């Protein structure tokens, strides 16, 4: 299955771009970072350790080791340095068997944020890797995504999405503040809703509760 086929079949009309939660009717927005102290963001702080714990726990609750997934990475191209040409460098540190990278697909498209591209010159380079959860070193990968605004290395600034083919879900950690989980049916993520209910972002909790109750 190709990424476009997956999206058209399961999430028709949804653009794979943030904020996902506000653009789909079935989903959960989780809070990862709680009570951040801006002047104290070193790696062993309780704040960042809790962020890591929640991101990894939610990922593992959703993606079994033998399940097939799409890992999608969007790289912005503002007409400057062609970082997208080094696409393997984005994935390679987080893949156990490098032969899996032969399945990596690349699509160049107009910027997925056209509102920021008045002249129509920006591009988005979308890289899609079909793999299994067990192919990924997902713990350091998720940590690197969470690190992007904390001054901690390694960090990843590209948008990364995980699409579970069997469960028909999309999982996106946007930074240390939180993550979005989308589904085609409330039933497929109901267990996660109940198990990690205390982690749901308070701001959107009433809206989320109506989907599951």
Task: Express each pLDDT in 121-155 by its tens digit.
Answer: 788 899 999 999 999 999 999 999 999 998 899 99
pLDDT at res. 110: 83
Mean pLDDT in residue range 78-103: 77
User: In the chain, what are the domain boundaries?
Assistant: 3-212
Of 133, 146, 171, 165, nearest to 27 (Cα)? 171
Asked if 124 contacts 112 with a C-beta cutoff of 8 angstroms, the reply is: yes
Q: What is the pLDDT of residues 87-99, one digit of tens each?
A: 667 899 999 999 9
Query: Residue 106 pairs with which residues in a beta bridge?
Result: 127
Prediction pTM value: 0.91
Query: With 90 as the cut, is the pLDDT of residue 109 above it?
Result: no
pLDDT at res. 113: 72
Query: Residue 171 pairs with which residues in a beta bridge?
Result: 162, 181
Q: What is the pLDDT of residues 16-43, one digit of tens each?
A: 999 999 999 999 999 999 876 555 555 5
Give the pLDDT band of residue 193 (cuts 50, 70, 90).
Answer: very high
Give the residue carrying structure tokens 């069997």.
166
């Amino acid at each position: 299955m190709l990424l476009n086929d997956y999206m058209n079949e399961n999430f028709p009309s949804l653009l794979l771009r943030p904020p996902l939660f506000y653009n789909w009717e079935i989903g959960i927005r989780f809070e990862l970072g709680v009570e951040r102290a801006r002047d104290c963001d070193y790696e062993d702080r309780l704040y960042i350790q809790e962020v890591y714990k929640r991101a990894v726990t939610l990922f593992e609750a959703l993606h079994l080791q033998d399940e097939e997934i799409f890992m999608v990475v969007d790289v912005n191209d503002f007409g400057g340095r062609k970082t997208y040409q080094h696409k393997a460098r984005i994935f390679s540190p987080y893949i156990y068997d490098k032969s899996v990278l032969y399945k990596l697909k690349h699509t160049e498209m107009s910027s997925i944020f056209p509102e920021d591209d008045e002249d129509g010159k920006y591009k988005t380079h979308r890289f899609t890797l079909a793999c299994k959860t067990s192919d990924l070193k997902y713990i350091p990968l998720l940590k690197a995504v969470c690190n992007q605004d904390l001054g901690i290395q390694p960090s990843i600034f590209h948008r990364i999405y995980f699409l579970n083919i069997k469960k028909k879900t999309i999982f996106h950690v946007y930074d240390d503040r939180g993550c979005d989980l989308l589904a085609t049916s409330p039933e497929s993520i109901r267990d996660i809703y109940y198990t990690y209910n205390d982690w749901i972002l308070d701001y959107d909790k009433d809206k989320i509760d109506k989907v599951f109750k």
